[in-house]
Structure 1
Amino acid sequence: MFDAPSDAPVRPRGSQGAVRTAPGGEFDRDTAVRRRADGAWEADLSPGWAIGKALNGGYLLAVVGRALRGALPHPDPFTITAHYLTATTAGSALVRTSPARVGRTVSTASAGLYQTDEHGEEVERIRALATYGDLDALPAEVRTGAEPPAMPPRERCFSATDHPGGATAVPEMAHRLDLRLDPDTIGWALGAPSMRGEMRAWLGLADGREPDPLALLMAVDALPPTAFDLGLTGWVPTVELTVHVRARPAPGPLRVSIVTRNLAGGYLEEDTEVWDTADRLVAQSRQLART
């Protein structure tokens, strides 16, 4: 989610028709959708989630996810896969949803996010396929070999917005987040990337809104790209992103861990895990991005 790394050091620091949006939250306001008579959903995409001129892919997935929540009888995304066709910018957008199957425990639908270009032509920006269910209805049993990432306490991590270049030196999206980067994964910011392809951070929303399943769709794409830790700079656009939401997160900051094991042909994958304060793996994702 960041622009090209800087060699400078960083410092630590201690409506009507809207679909199920909580009042007062910036994330809820900026992902709100309104149902049209034809079953499409209108959205006003906020510039507050921009990386340069383009909007963050996780934020956009949350917008699409909210529209799908309104189109289906089940409340929670279980799995959603999005292909990013062209860069999306701030402004008006339309999400068209198409239910494929409604079952007793899960429902499936596709969705497309559209904008009108400078020629007045409608352009599809994102196409997604998702299955929704009810996380609260899932059995409590967990069998896993996964473990939460080992990270320092939040007060010993580094703030993404505490940049020596000032507030204008970080992407606009950074101001929407309370992001604390693990010191072991910020060598790239000092001009010394580890070349391991790792990124870890504590993550919350800057306005204090607690995480929920829709916020998890944003969280998997909220950290700086692992390409920075591999010595690469510049924009790393998402080609495809698949998210699995495994549980409703407990209140409090999330721990996000991302790793890239293979970069080839100008493309890399990012495998992401999101853990809550109850040490539960609440979301996983895999992303294909272009370098």
Structure 2
Amino acid sequence: MTTATRSEFDQGIALTPHAAEPGRYDAELGAGWQIGGGVNGGLLLAVAGHALSLANGDHRDPFSITGHYLSASRPGPATVRTETVRRGRSLTTGTASLLQDGEERLRVLATFGDLDTLDAEVATSALPPVMPLPDECIGVEHAPPQLIEQAALLERFDLRLDPATVGWALGQPSGNGRIQGWFRLADGRQPDPLLLLLVADSLPPVTFDLGRPGWAPTVELTVHLRAKPAPGWLRVAHATRNLAGGYFEEDCEIWDETGRLVAQSRQLARAPRS
């Protein structure tokens, strides 16, 4: 794929190795990935994950990755510095720091391996969310204008939300704290492990369904990857059970076109200010 035809996501996480400093990579964070006052946390996690993937040799797939968001990132140049903590036969653990203007924005600790080598056995009681087909769901074009203004990244997505979980857009939030829908990139790029890091933070905050609109900045986000996703649509469900002290957790499940659970995540975020 040439640079001219490269997916917006691939451009968004593109890195240039620094010749004089092994483990350092330079990035350019694009304005098209903003939400609220900064660059989307899932995109930032994918940038850091990409750096660790490049640094880890044949252990290129994130198995578990945790990011702590120290300050808001803005569009523009950024640097990612990686360090290998331990390399074993099947797993490599490392850290990454994303910096802008000399200030650390994101600190990551992650374990990488090769998802293709995992045992094929699946024993689970988890079930994919039941919802209408994509053409029967609500597309981004129907989102409130104020949401699009706050979330430029939605223009990069082909996102179809389950009508049962978008009452908040009509001023009628359910109070259940759940939003779910179908996801794929607008330019047709197929899902892979790094894209799943973005998808884990791609839906509107579940606080919208609690009647609390507004920016909900992520404090910490952990993603567990269980398998490489099949091509096609992803089913994504976000939910919360507890909002207290001005913070809430947001649990996410991501299912691929075959109905397999390919990723799970949990994040701690600050509730929108009323």
Query: Does TM, scored on the shorter chain, surpass 0.5?
Result: yes
Q: What letter matches 2:10 in structure 1?
A: D
Q: Are residues 51 and 164 of structure 1, via their aligned partners in 2, closer, same or farther at CA, if it must alter by over 3 Å?
A: closer
TM-score (norm 1): 0.89
Correspondence 1:208-227 to 2 at 5 A:
208-227=188-207
Q: 1:255-270 maps to which residues of 2 (within 5 A)?
A: 255-270=235-250
What is the deviation of 1:162?
2.9
- C-alpha distance in 2 between matches for 1:168 and 1:272: 22
Cα distance in structure 2, aligned partners of 1:170 and 1:239: 19
Deviation at 1:23, TM superposition (A): 5.8
**Which consecutive aligned stretches of 4+ in structure 1 deviate over 2 angstroms post-superposition?**
161-170
Which of 90, 95, 109 is residue 75 of structure 2 equivalent to? 90
Measured against aligned partners, the alpha-carbon deviations of 1:89-141 in whole angstroms (never above 9, x if no partner) come to 0000000001001111010000100000xxxxx10000000000000011100
Matched, 1:48 2:44: no
Give the RMSD, CA atoms, in angstroms. 1.6
The aligned counterpart of 2:64 is: 79
Higher relative contact order (CA 8 A, sep 6+): 1
Q: Which residue in 1 is equivalent to 2:224? A: 244
Code of the aligned partner of 2:41: G
DSSP-derived class of the 2:142 partner: coil
Structure (1/2) with the larger helix percentage:
2
Q: CA deviation at 1:67?
A: 0.3
The answer (yes or no) to whether the contact 1:256–1:272 under 8 Å persists in 2 is yes
Identity %, equivalent residues = 56
Distance 1:22 1:86 in 2: 32
1-structure distance, mates of 2:247, 2:150: 24
2:9 corresponds to which residue? Answer: 27
> Is 2:97 aligned against 1:112?
yes
Structure 1 residue ranges without an equivalent (≥5): 1-20, 117-121
- Native 8 Å contact 1:161 1:170 kept in 2: no
Structure 2 portions without partners, runs of 5+: none
Aligned residues of 2:144 and 2:169 also touching (Cα < 8 A): no
Maintained 8 Å contact 1:58/1:218? yes
| Number of matched pairs | 266
TM-score, normalised by the number of residues in structure 2:
0.94
The structural deviation recorded for 1:164 is 5.9
